[in-house]
Amino acid sequence: MKTAPLQTAKKSAVACHNCSLSELCLPRGLTSEELDLLENAINKTVKIKKKDYLFHRDDQQHSIYAVKAGAIKTSLSTPDGEEQILGFYLPGDLLGFDAFANNRHTCDAQALDDTLVCELNIDSFQELCGKLSSMRGQMMRQIGAEIEREHMLLLTLGQMRTEERLATFLSSLSERNRERGFSSTEFNLPMARHDLANYLGMAVETLSRMFSRLQEENIIAVQHRLIKIQEMDRLKQLAHHTCRPAGDAL
């Protein structure tokens, strides 16, 4: 289907110390010495091209990855070729925890764009977590956030109508951008309509209609992937199902 990720990968030096994402990523709250240990656990920085896979379900090799730049989607596919996108991972997000169960990834991870990730060897990372309680705490928080995010998505898919789903998504992407110091009212969607529709459990056509509807009501302005939120309060109102700001990832 696609070339293996490692064939298109380049290795480069790792440096959490001066990484701009250190406040979002694992390093948050660690001392300089702890950071050294973390850097040792990092295999390498991997560059993957748009549409290439970071990992496949059941791959022999498994790691935890931190996104430095670009965007990754994870998905599950069925025997008959249907897929469900499980999450979008943006700079500062970690992915790969699904491999904890059986030392195999249980979903696929594909780059939505040319992407840069840090790869952490799962075993040395586990070992590190044994040694440093701060690191263990970091990891637990990340895992907890991942579970919480998935809970929100279940709520979205199980209870909301399509307009609500989109409003909730936009609202949480906005929040996310705010947290990262970007504009919360004007941003680019990192994914195509097709992927977003799949993630939100609706047809592309329906998604497009919902974008149009929100635009007609002057709640947002849409130009391709650029979204401008014009009336945040009305957007949040539509997304009233949402429980809390929803911290990490999407």
Partner DNA sequence: ATACAGCGTTGACCTACATCAAAAAACAAT
Partner DNA sequence: ATTGTTTTTTGATGTAGGTCAACGCTGTAT
Q: Interface with DNA by CB under 7 A: which residues?
A: 161-163, 192-194, 201-209, 211-212, 222, 224-225
Backbone angles phi, psi at 33, to 5 degrees: -70, -40
Question: CB within 8 A of 116, min separation 6: which ones?
Answer: 45, 46, 47, 67, 68, 69, 70
Does position 107 interact with its own copies (CB under 8 A)? The reply is yes
**Residue 212 touches which member of DNA, its own copies, none, C-beta under 5-8 Å by kind:** DNA
Q: Residue from 10, 12, 17, 150 that binds its own copies (CB under 8 A)?
A: 150
Least Å from the CB of residue 162 to DNA: 4
Alpha carbon distance 155, 165 (integer Å): 10
In contact, 84 and 106? CB cutoff 8 Å: no
In contact, 50 and 111? CB cutoff 8 Å: yes
Does position 76 interact with its own copies (CB under 8 A)? The reply is yes
Q: Residue from 13, 133, 216, 224 that binds its own copies (CB under 8 A)?
A: 133
* Residue 179 token pair: 């947290």
Q: Residue from 54, 146, 176, 219 that binds its own copies (CB under 8 A)?
A: 146
Closest CB to DNA among 64 and 220? 220
SS3 12: coil
Alpha carbon distance 51, 4 (integer Å): 11
Site for its own copies in 78-97 (CB under 8 A): 78-80, 82-84, 86, 97
**Residue 161 touches which member of its own copies, DNA, none, C-beta under 5-8 Å by kind:** DNA
Does position 243 interact with its own copies (CB under 8 A)? The reply is yes
Least Å from the CB of residue 33 to DNA: 45
- The burial of 134, by beta-carbon neighbours within 10 Å (0-12 exposed, 13-18 middle, 19 or more buried), is given as middle
Site for its own copies in 199-228 (CB under 8 A): 199, 201
Query: Considering all CA atoms of the chain, what is the largest pairwise distance in Å, rounded to the nearest integer?
Result: 56
Alpha carbon distance 15, 120 (integer Å): 13
Size of the site for its own copies (CB under 8 A): 49
Give the interface with its own copies as residue ranges (CB under 8 A): 76, 78-80, 82-84, 86, 97-102, 106-107, 126-127, 129-131, 133, 136-137, 140-141, 143-148, 150-155, 157-159, 198-199, 201, 240-243, 247
